[in-house]
Chain A
Amino acid sequence: MRRAFGSVLAVDDISLVARPGEVTALVGPNGAGKTTLLLMLATLLVPDHGTIRIEGFDPVTQPAEVRARIGWMPDGFGTWDALTVREVLHTIGAAYRMGPAEARARTEAVLELLHLGDLADRRARVLSRGQKQRLGLARALLHDPSVLLLDEPASGLDPRSRIELRDVLRTMAADGKTVLVSSHILTELQEVADRAVIVARGRTTQDQTLDATELATTVGTWRITSLDADRLRQWLGERHVPWRAELAAVVVQVGGEEQAARLLADLVADGIRVIAFAPSHGALEAAYLAATEDRQ
């Protein structure tokens, strides 16, 4: 797909497939074209080249069919300030041609799901940023869409809401819905996403699966902290393991989880008191850094 705004090429060449039952992460630096891509998926923008199919429908020629199926949560959206949370959702229900009773029932269900019950009768104006984000998600979920397009849903959320968001997304995927979520917060995405599509400068640079087997076999960077720092370095030097110091810790390259476990066992066996032993980057983070390296 390609989309330009005048001379600014926002989306140059992005292709991706998001499958039902999976959470697909859309990752990329600022200005990579994520939001533009989501606008095209949300039936608001026509791509210059390329095609989009959402459950078999083309957002350009069959927007109504697509709109009935997608729930879109924009990045940095506004809301009708004067309305209460409940009224906002009732209005959205009506906009999706629900009857009043159905709209009320769905509103209560979504309020319950996103823990917005306490705020239901507050005006949207007084909500905090994180609360507004939750209202935005509630709006996207109201008509029970089968495809969710979420643009930075976690920004502004408190830690608890983030964890709840993760659970909501996982539940949606488990129900067979297609979830496409863009974010900057890689560690979060790592926990929630099945696959990650990394975009940079309007191009897909990598489309990778984030499953356990892949993590287990990739060479990764691990960070070791020990009470016996000097002995640890000596120990590594004796065994010709390349290492570098990072503050009090030591960073080594290890080929997969199996090897990491063996290394830890050996260290402990030799009486080195290890207090922290963890991958220094998530797999997603590593891939992201690799994909966007040319930016620096």
Chain B
Amino acid sequence: MSLHGIRTVAALELRQRARTSRWPVVLLLWFLLVAGVTSLSYAALNNASVKAGPTLYDVTTFLVLGLSMLVVPSLTATSVNGDREAGVLATLQTTLLTPADIIVGKLVSSWVIALVFLAVSSPFLLWAWVAGGIGIGQVVGSLLVLAFVLAVTCAIGLAFSTLTARTVASAVLTYLAIATLVFGTVIVFLLSFFLVQSREQVRYYGIPDSFWAAQTKNDDGSISPDSVIPTVADCRHLTREETVIHTERIWWLLPMNPFVVVADAAPGRTAPGPTAYSGVQPMRAISIGARSARAGADGRERQECDFGGGGGPAALPPLQSGPIYPYGLVFYLALGAGATWLAIRRTRTPVTRLPNGTRIA
């Protein structure tokens, strides 16, 4: 592998793409889509009391990542087998370029295109930053994480394009793989709840059942409203049996999700804003949810005595673990490196075995 070789392949790929596709149109559509959604969010959310900045940043990042997951795999999913079909891969393989040059060159070129899409959406991220509340360091940091996830997505497509002879098959497999990461992890996470749930005694501070039993009832068994005003004095430290889900045993499914990784690294979670789940802050909600999943079953006493301004302790915020995104980054680094290694191995020549239906040249 050499810098010169990688640059040669990347330049070749970029030049071809620049000339064969309608990039200006695609980028314009992308720009308009992001612009539309961001402007609507701004119009809907901005008012004198709440700065729309963090929300804007969240919505835009969420949108850009979601759209990228649709667009980016198509950049590489037919790269190697498409070249093989067009009879141009062997032309490179018989030169002094190594398989690593070819694969990494293709990876770099598709990543550059993915970054162009990111760059086109950056005015809106900047707008969000200006609109308030987010430091530039945080924006840059989360952009880097986003760019990294896109690079891994490119690598996954590239690996599949070396695995199948038909471009349709590799495109389908790539999208399936991406869908597994985006939806599959969440679905498996939620479906595994029954595996990690148990009935346990939990402590709480609230109104005992005896309080309600002591109330005078109407004829139909409902409680007459006049008499039901419990006060802090009525609260007791009690226990009851509840279903507890030990998500700390399955939280590791979450950092495999690109949205969780990007959300957890996003600045929205630390920005001053409304309460945890208020507003439209998808990234913030994802991040808080994922961290509380990792923190797992909450052993703290439930605070259920805060009613009617009676002065009881407020409900506790969700239990939070440390950052999750570093685990995601490690996972994605391994995934990207593995995919790239596989792709390189599969483009090595001379070959001993040809998959069915493939041609070399």
Contacts and interface: CB of A to CB of B under 8 A. Distances in A.
Contact of B90 (A5, A46, A74): A74
Nearest to A59: B350
Contacts of A96: 95-96
A81 B20 contact: yes
Interface of B: 4-5, 8, 11-12, 15-16, 19-20, 86-88, 90-97, 349-352, 354, 356, 360-361
A54 interface: no
Contacts of A45: 349-351, 354, 360
Contact of B96 (A44, A80, A97): A97
A182 to B, nearest CB: 13
Given A39-B360, A91-B8, A70 B350 contact: no
Contact of B87 (A39, A40, A70, A76): A76
A46 B352 contact: yes
Interface string A246-277: 00000000000000000000000000000000
B349 A43 contact: yes
Given A5-B354, A43-B349, 17 more contacts: A44-B350, A44-B360, A46-B350, A46-B352, A67-B95, A72-B94, A74-B91, A78-B88, A80-B16, A82-B15, A83-B15, A83-B19, A91-B11, A92-B91, A94-B11, A97-B5, A139-B91
Interface in A3-44: 5-6, 39-40, 42-44
Given A43-B94, A44-B94, A70-B94, A82 B87 contact: no
A64 interface: yes
B97 A95 contact: yes
A227 interface: no
26 contacts: A5-B354, A6-B356, A42-B90, A43-B93, A44-B349, A44-B360, A44-B361, A45-B350, A45-B351, A45-B360, A67-B95, A68-B96, A72-B94, A74-B91, A76-B361, A77-B88, A78-B87, A80-B12, A81-B20, A82-B19, A91-B12, A94-B8, A95-B96, A95-B97, A139-B91, A143-B95
B87 A92 contact: no
A69 to B, nearest CB: 11
Contacts of A94: 4, 8, 11
Contacts of A78: 86-88
Nearest to B89: A78
Contacts of B94: 42-44, 67, 70, 72
Chain A interface category by residue count: 35 or more
B104 to A, nearest CB: 14
A106 B19 CA distance: 25
Interface in A73-89: 74-83, 87
A78 B360 CA distance: 12
Contacts of A42: 90, 94
Q: For the complex, would chain A's binding face be called helix, strand, loop or mixed by DSSP majority? A: loop
Contacts of A6: 356
A146 to B, nearest CB: 15
A6 B354 CA distance: 9
A226 B327 CA distance: 92
Contacts of A139: 91
A87 B15 contact: yes
A60 interface: yes
A282 interface: no
B10 to A, nearest CB: 11
A173 B211 CA distance: 107
Of A45, A70, A81, A95, chain B has the most CB atoms within 10 Å of the CB of A95
Interface string A45-65: 110000000000001100110
Contacts of B356: 6
Contacts of B15: 82-83, 87
A77 B350 contact: no
A46 B356 CA distance: 16
Contacts of B93: 43-44
Contacts of B91: 74, 77, 79, 92, 139
A72 B95 CA distance: 9
Interface string A167-186: 00000000000000000000
A63 B4 contact: no
B349 to A, nearest CB: 5
A44 B4 contact: no
A39 B96 contact: no
Contacts of A46: 350-352
B101 to A, nearest CB: 8
A60 B350 contact: yes
Contacts of B11: 91, 94
B14 to A, nearest CB: 11
A77 B87 contact: yes
